[in-house]
A and B are shown apart, each in its own frame.
Chain A
Amino acid sequence: MEHIVIIGNGISGVTAARHIRKLSNKRITIISAESDYFFSRTALMYVYMGHMKFEHTQPYEDWFWKKNKIELVKAYVKDINTNTKTLEFDNRDALKCDKLIIATGSKPNKFGWPGQDLKGVLGMYHKQDLENLEILAPNNKVCKHAVIVGGGLIGIELAEMLNSRHIPVTFLVRESSFWNGVLPNSESQMINRHIKSHHIDLRLSSNLKEIVSDENGRVKSIIIAESGEEISCNIVGLTAGVSPNINFIKSTKIDTNKGVLVNQYLETNIPDVYAVGDCAEQHNPIGNRRPVEAVWYTGRMMGETIAQTICAEKTAYQPGHWFNSAKFFDIEYQTYGWVHGEKGRPDYEEHFHWTHEDDLKCITVAYNRNTREFLGINTFGIRMRHETFDTWLTDKRDVDYVISHLSEANFDPEFYKRFENEIIGQYKNQPQKTSV
């Protein structure tokens, strides 16, 4: 019986295992050093906030794995011998496999800041990070002040987490406005205001110079590069993005760059070795997508794809239209298709923007200035229907159609106030823009 070994029990690895089991009777082993069972990484924040217990983040009950004959091994892979197809563990055990799927996910970025490995400095990615945070910042008596470095999605989640325990937070963001590498300006500025309304000390255009240690090797304070200001704190959260977690692979024969290099079939340069999820890097990026996609659903899709390739017929990873979602404190965000911030916006991309007076809701519709083709939408505080936008993008609807049919895409709960009329009114009244 063919033995499939998967390194990593995150969404990519587990999806691959589940689908391989659906399609075949192959022997399946999942290896993880992080946790006994699969859990939803994105839900760790809710454990710290007291919305859930850790067990609630596990989508499958413990008996599920045995019942589906998926073997779980808690171990740390130290090396991969691609000639003998053998994995070597740090406890000197080894495991032979016929096919290997690398699904090791990401790790938080560290950019060589002085003091970045002090006690009290942590990322917010692994289960162990959560356990550390619970020890270092159980309440605002033990942790009187926290500093977060890096203005991305994990950074703002960490701010919300600490806020839930009334720990004062200073939030250092390198950009001039929160996440404006991705979001158009007015959206990004709305989020700035929302962050501040939650009493977060938001510092824009601020870089970390160094983390200062006390006499016990613990974090004492940080220093901001631009102003030289020193802010005393008990913990520092480093949330300046993530990168593929592939250090142990770099010494093997498997080709790597930022991540494990794969083709569209998620195959590496070594036969029978595949990579999926955050740790995989596409030789040739697909559409506007980045070569490394650290997104929940792409991990899941790659897992489904690789199972087809291994068990049925060779299948290319072809994600459909881009979409994503996040939550910034109380504001939900969804995006379908492509809406660019200032950075990297194509010349032809024009925006229609609507903001609600409560400063908690807005939408941005991107379209092609020349053809008026609808390109994408960002929506804040209003839920929209994935299926509808997916269809509109496939059908290449124009922007007028999308705006006038917006009510079909509404996904807010029943009885919620609707804004389509207001949006259509503003759309019709906007001054005609002439192309330059």
Chain B
Amino acid sequence: MNQNVEESMSLAKPDVQDLSIKHKISVVIGVFGLFIFVLALANIDFPNRGIFLMLAIGSIALGTILYSNQIYSNKSKGIKNDSVWFKSMSSKGILGWITGIVLTLFYIVLYFYPQYLGLSSTGASNTGLIALFDPLSYLLSGRPASQWFVYGTLYTLAILIFGYKFMLKYKHNRYQQLRTGSVMFFQLGFAFLIPEFMARLNESASYNLPYYDLKSMWPLNYYLFDGWSINGFLSSGTLGLILLIFGVLSIFVVSPILTYKYGKRWYCSWVCGCGALAETAGDSFRQLSSKKLSAWKLERWLIHTVLVFSIIMTTAVVYTYLGSDPHKFWLTRATFLLSAGIILTSIFAIVMVFKRKELGKDAIFGAIGFFVIIASLFILYFSGTTDKIFIVKSSTLRSAYGLYIGSIFSGVVGTGFYPILGNRVWCRFGCPMAAILGFQQRLFSKFRITTNGGQCISCGNCSTYCEMGIDVRAYAQKGENIVRSSCVGCGVCSAVCPRGVLKLENGSLNGRINSNEILLGNDVNLITLLKR
């Protein structure tokens, strides 16, 4: 008997239902829209680009909507994970690999060879796919399209149409619907439309605003404090100044308050654009994240290394920008470094005084990270007489970060590898913003996933569908609450649990982490024994 039980227990493809007529029609419509893009890529010049662009976007949206309606509309309310591990797309089958490779190639072209998409060089008009998007770009911002405009449009489209699909899939779950509505809103409004309108303002000579997605905070938005960006803000009058202040406040005030009250989910699953794509277009791949202990170890090293890198890089960039002339800005290089050092040291001191116990063995790694940064500050101060810092230029550091972290990690690997490594690769292994929020979530937040006493049957649905690769079951089966820095609070573990064991909550800090073994059902005396 040729049966590989460990791989998949399925002998035949069990999902034998053939596509219905309506299904087929929706596929035809969607593929038609995609085909217009393919033709544009092949440099076919459409006579009326505006109409063909609308036709393409409209067909893709309509096809996806019809298809989703076909899958979910007539089904009962409930969990819809049947056949997930039998489908080629969602179980690293041939379709999954093809999609992964195509996405990865797309990102490589987007970041490194935008001319293949039709980006013009030096003033000539666009061709190919980018030219197809010119009419929409002129309409919104009055400028010709760029590769980033094409990408932004497609990105937003994906979030909207797959967001619709996701909301249908979870029609029984208002938490899922609301947060999906929220990310759709923030993507369309804050990431897509507002920056385009801000670009309109720049037609006037008194404005020179940089591209700024208001909800995208440093350090995720690593270019916020680049020289050109700060120059842009500062040369855009009061509005520019307000935006810059908002950028700083959102990091140091807004985010800590919201994270304290609701955990990092307020950002990662309700606002963030990377999270938005992961939760909508990437939803079919959430089960592919590795739950191995080794993956967790790798995660912690990687994400915190990126965080340290991003802090050093940003400090160096701002330091260089400030210059040594004390009359140019009220903030001098020395005060800047000093205040950065003070802020970091106070955070470090507070954590070590109040949360030393919770950190356990991790304290040593936190300390190493802290001292690396402080040492860099000192080196900056003593060596940074010119724009050179530690031997390399700050601009070199900045471009290295932009290339390896900003482009390759977050884009090519983070999104291109969705169908292979799961939909939150970037959020889990790379995002410095997630590292900061997670750090706060673990130590200073009311958020936790509560385990409902002794009801867990160790089935593993929660762990399987955790996109962040958290072994949720390991906690639930012990009656422990789940308080993990990586948890983005998507709520899917709670949704897929067949026994109602998990609930995302903001509650009191007391007993937030402690396991409550009494609720496993045992008698009190035994519990005292177990605890001893």
Contact = CB atoms under 8 A, between A and B. Distances in A.
B85 A53 contact: yes
A138 B452 contact: no
Nearest to A301: B522
Closest 10 CB pairs of A and B: A386-B453, A330-B78, A318-B523, A383-B500, A43-B459, A50-B83, A415-B174, A138-B12, A40-B458, A325-B499
B82 A323 contact: no
Contacts of A142: 12
B503 A411 contact: yes
Contacts of A312: 529
B368 interface: no
Interface in B1-29: 1, 3, 5-17
By DSSP majority rule, is chain B's interface helix, strand, loop, or mixed?
Answer: loop
A51 B84 contact: yes
Given A52-B460, A334-B500, A329 B78 contact: yes
A403 to B, nearest CB: 20
Interface string A366-389: 000000000000000001111100
A54 B85 CA distance: 11
A415 B9 contact: no
A416 B175 contact: yes
Given A325-B457, A413-B494, 8 more contacts: A43-B461, A131-B3, A141-B16, A297-B520, A300-B520, A315-B526, A386-B455, A387-B516
A308 interface: yes
A40 B12 contact: no
Interface in B440-485: 450, 452-455, 457-461, 463-464, 473-474, 477
Contacts of B520: 297, 300-301, 304
Interface stretch (A56-64, A229-237, A268-276): A56-64
Given A140-B16, A304-B530, A330 B77 contact: yes
Contacts of B504: 413-414
Contacts of B204: none
B175 A390 contact: no
A53 to B, nearest CB: 5
B268 to A, nearest CB: 16
B525 interface: yes
Given A46-B461, A319-B521, A319-B523, A325 B11 contact: no
Contacts of B529: 308, 312-313, 315
B178 interface: yes
Contact of B459 (A40, A304, A412): A40
Nearest to A318: B523
Nearest to A308: B529
Given A138-B11, A330-B76, A56 B175 contact: no
A46 B77 CA distance: 18
A411 B452 contact: yes
Interface in B407-457: 450, 452-455, 457
A48 B9 contact: yes
Contacts of A360: 77
B264 to A, nearest CB: 16
Nearest to A164: B82
B491 interface: yes
Contacts of B491: 413-414
B525 A131 contact: no
A54 B6 contact: yes
A139 interface: yes
A167 to B, nearest CB: 9
Given A296-B457, A308-B529, A318-B522, A417 B85 contact: no
21 contacts: A43-B459, A46-B459, A46-B461, A50-B86, A51-B461, A53-B6, A56-B464, A59-B473, A61-B292, A141-B12, A165-B14, A166-B16, A304-B522, A332-B499, A334-B500, A385-B452, A386-B454, A411-B450, A413-B173, A413-B491, A416-B173
